[in-house]
Amino acid sequence: MVRFVPLPALVLVPVLLGPAPTAPGSPTEPEERIGAPPPPPAPTVLGRKPLPVEPGAEGSLDPRALGLRRRDDGTYEYLDRGLRFSAVIERDGRVRFADRYRRTSSRNRQRGRCCGLPPEGLAGLNPFRGVPVPGLAELIYAMYRIDPNRSAKDAFLERTRAFRTKLAIDFALQNLDRRLSDLDRELLEIWQDDRRPAKERRRILFERWDECDELVELSYVGLPKDAILTIERARMETAERARAKIERFIRKAAPRGSADAYGDEELAALNARRRSRQRFAPYDTAAPRPSAGEDGGTDVR
């Protein structure tokens, strides 16, 4: 007579009996067992084929050598050779993974979200070929939130680290330059707004000066560690250039001694509530910042 054993009992069997004996030197971790060379990819039907990874491609800056396919939006796509997962490298160097039958997601960058076509397209849903059904091992992995493809994903991250670092740095520098360029237009709009009295416009200019760190604030979540130090240094330099640009604008738009100039008491009151470590002294040019001369300033005429 066939007897059905409850699933919890099946799950407890390995725990009670202990792990099965393994040959000397064989891996025992689930990630390592599945990290063995994957089978050849299945034929593609309305899908995509994995690109080959060139030998010794680790550290390469050539996306083709890394098995990456550039997409129209500037991101790069990778398909695992065994079609176990796919990955998307964003323009800023961040990575989104998606396991088989899942889609990439910014909320779950490690495994993606339900549901999506497999990498090989409709061939993975062919009813005549059958559909793989999760077994006991997959159920245990899901129960304990184990990613069976973690080793392969880590290898992909390590192989593409130099490429992703370059993407992250280039993207951040372009973003910082754009924000610094936009500052000219913003300062003009603030000062030429005749609906506000001069004192209020001066206060807004001070706030922009005091917020320069936030003006060029960047998120480092998910970026390659090798890129963070370079990006942070560039961010701090851009913040200094932004402060210098605002101070030069003030000296042109509201020069010392003019009717629109900051008064001594006004400067003291603003400095009393500033968040920046630096003192707000737009008319103090005794010790100009080294990077101040890099920007030509804004014509306020």
Q: Which domain holds residue 254?
A: 163-294
Is the entire prediction scored with pTM above 0.75? no
Q: Is residue 2 part of a domain?
A: no
Q: Is residue 257 part of a domain?
A: yes
Last residue of a domain, one of 129, 159, 189: 159
Each residue's pLDDT, cut to its tens digit, for the chain (301 residues) gives 434 334 344 344 333 334 333 333 333 333 333 334 444 444 443 457 889 999 988 889 999 999 999 999 999 999 998 888 999 999 999 999 998 888 888 888 888 878 877 776 666 666 666 556 566 666 676 666 778 888 999 999 999 999 999 999 999 999 999 999 999 999 999 999 999 999 999 999 999 999 987 766 777 888 888 899 999 999 999 999 999 999 999 999 999 999 999 999 999 999 999 998 899 999 998 644 544 344 445 544 4
Are residues 189 and 83 located together in one domain of the fold? no
| Number of structural domains found in the chain | 2
Last residue of a domain, one of 159, 175, 209: 159
Q: Is residue 13 part of a domain?
A: no
Last residue of a domain, one of 159, 174, 207: 159
Are residues 143 and 77 located together in one domain of the fold? yes
Are residues 170 and 154 located together in one domain of the fold? no
Are residues 96 and 135 located together in one domain of the fold? yes
Are residues 122 and 146 located together in one domain of the fold? yes
Are residues 108 and 215 located together in one domain of the fold? no
Q: Is residue 300 part of a domain?
A: no
Are residues 147 and 189 located together in one domain of the fold? no
Q: Is residue 286 part of a domain?
A: yes
Q: Is residue 10 part of a domain?
A: no
Q: Is residue 15 part of a domain?
A: no
Q: Work out the angle at residue 135's Cα, subtended by the Cα atoms of residues 129 and 137, and round it to the nearest 5 degrees.
A: 140
Q: Is residue 23 part of a domain?
A: no
